[in-house]
Amino acid sequence: MKLVLSVFVAGLTILILPPVFGAEEVDWKPEANMDHQLFPALLIATASVRPVEPDDQEAEKPDPYLLGERFGLVGVSMKAPAANAKVKVTVKENDLMAASSWSGDLAEAGKDYFIAPKVNYKFDRLRKMTQQVPLNITFEVEVDGEPAGEKYETLQVRSINDCPFGVSNAEETLNDENFIAGNAALGWMFAAYVNENHPMLDKVLQEALETKIVGAFRVTTHEHDETLKQVFAVWSALQKRGLQYSSTTATPGGSETVQSQYIRFIDQSLTNTQANCVDGSVLFASLLRKISVEPFLVTVPGHMYVGFYLGAGKSQFIGLETTVLGVPDVADEKKPADPAALTALRDKLDPAVRARRDWKTFAKAIQVGTEDLTKNKEKMDAGDPNYQWIDLAEARTEGIMPIPYSAP
């Protein structure tokens, strides 16, 4: 009799311990960050790495309730139905993504988790997205081996030309490594549009040599006026091509939480002979990197221009306002604040060259850019997100590679 009772009690204990829930009753929903937008440029530029701030101690602390891809843009939010519940989340295949899954345990019952599978994106198709289109993403969830249903989320896939450069702090996708004054500053994304490997650059540099301003492009470390002379040759070639400033900046599908900018690729700017401030800056930065002059991009409220370093050490630098390119009536006026390299080059040039429009616009571009750079550098050094200094060499070191050229 005692033996039978013991077995009954033990069996009763086993029956009442496990939680009772059906997988179909699990509370979960699909999520899409970046205000339900998918930016092909961001996915391509950060395919292998995401830049981080080296002094961000918070970035070193993993979030126990954020599982899967740390910077995943799509996933599901779920309330854990039980401690150590085994969950599998699958993103089904679509036009831009191959089927991708995450499997693991939710350690704490009743806690809210965000699970982002590492999505296997079809990068060749992302690169070809030149128009904004909708995309349905289907998610499938299993809990303890039982299906918990399928749900979908509709995203707006942006053009490859749309560059996201800031996310407000109301967004769930805030990149904590770049969290500055209420925004995730993604200024490094502009570096993805600088392409020193673009096949059209060689033609422009050949035309620069044909100006006879320089006989060759060579690395100079101490002759700063010679470095500036090479930059002038590139400027002259672009002006002879008829490249002019165009204020077109319209970006369809704007968002109140994600800041983005439409940027022409190098071939688009050269073929159409039009460039806004960002287009011209990434084009010129690409050419400078091609001739081993280290450039940087500068963003100020509502505007961008390019700068570059003179010699090694990065202690001396020049700003260049690309919107002056092609301006019809500019005077070459010496100013006390002119960079020493500009003064030295002006004194060395033949008077006939100094009388040309390409020199006058170049000198003016140097003056305007350097003056603004000097005025705002303190804000850039202080980390003001509205004033950013984007070093191209550093961006490459951090893993931001150029968006590859795609033949039309």
Mind giving me the DSSP string for 20-79? Answer: ---GGG--EEEEEHHHHEE-HHHHHHTSS-----TT-SGGGS--TTEEE-TT-SEEEEEE
CB atoms inside a 10 Å sphere around CB 269: 23
The pLDDT of residue 262 is 93
The pLDDT of residue 187 is 86
Pairing of strands 100-106, 97-98: unpaired
- On the question of pLDDT at 51 being above 70, the answer is no
Of 86-90, 168-172, 364-368, the poorest mean pLDDT is in 168-172
Reported as a single tens digit per residue, the pLDDT across 107-160 is: 999 999 999 999 999 999 999 999 999 999 999 999 999 999 999 999 999 999
Reported as a single tens digit per residue, the pLDDT across 210-219 is: 999 999 998 8
Domain residue extents for the chain: 21-160, 191-397
Percent of the chain with pLDDT over 70: 85
18 versus 290: the higher-pLDDT residue is: 290
The pLDDT of residue 57 is 52
Cβ pair 100, 91 in contact under 8 A: yes
Reported as a single tens digit per residue, the pLDDT across 34-45 is: 889 999 999 999
Please compute the mean of the pLDDT values over residues 377-382 and round it to a whole number: 90
Residue 220 binned pLDDT confidence (cut-offs 50, 70, 90): confident
- Taking alpha carbons only, the member of 104, 96, 40 closest to residue 69 is 104
Of 245-249, 319-323, 378-382, the poorest mean pLDDT is in 245-249
Percent of the chain with pLDDT over 90: 68
Please compute the mean of the pLDDT values over residues 61-87 and round it to a whole number: 91
The helix (run of H) or strand (run of E) holding residue 235 is helix 224-240
Residue 172 binned pLDDT confidence (cut-offs 50, 70, 90): very low
- On the question of pLDDT at 341 being above 50, the answer is yes
DSSP type of residue 379 = H
In the numeric block, which tokens belong to residue 68? 């899967």
- On the question of pLDDT at 373 being above 60, the answer is yes
- On the question of pLDDT at 285 being above 60, the answer is yes
Distance between CA atoms of 193 and 263, rounded to whole angstroms? 8
Please compute the mean of the pLDDT values over residues 93-103 and round it to a whole number: 97
The pLDDT of residue 149 is 94
- What backbone torsions phi and psi does residue 116 show, to the nearest 5 degrees? -120, 100
Where do we find the tokens 């050269």?
270
The pLDDT of residue 3 is 35
Provide the CATH topology of domain 21-160. Answer: Immunoglobulin-like (2.60.40)
Please compute the mean of the pLDDT values over residues 179-196 and round it to a whole number: 75
Distance between CA atoms of 284 and 264, rounded to whole angstroms? 13
- On the question of pLDDT at 336 being above 90, the answer is yes
17 versus 402: the higher-pLDDT residue is: 402
The pLDDT of residue 312 is 73
The pLDDT of residue 17 is 43
- On the question of pLDDT at 11 being above 80, the answer is no
Q: Which residues contact 98 (CB under 8 A, 6 or more apart)?
A: 120, 121, 122
The pLDDT of residue 250 is 57
Residue 169 binned pLDDT confidence (cut-offs 50, 70, 90): low
Sheet holding 258-262, edge to edge: 179-180, 183-185, 162-168, 258-262
The pLDDT of residue 54 is 53
pTM assigned to the model: 0.86
3-state DSSP assignment of residue 393: helix
Helices (H), 83-223: 123-127, 201-210
The pLDDT of residue 25 is 79
DSSP type of residue 112 = E
In the numeric block, which tokens belong to residue 11? 């069996």
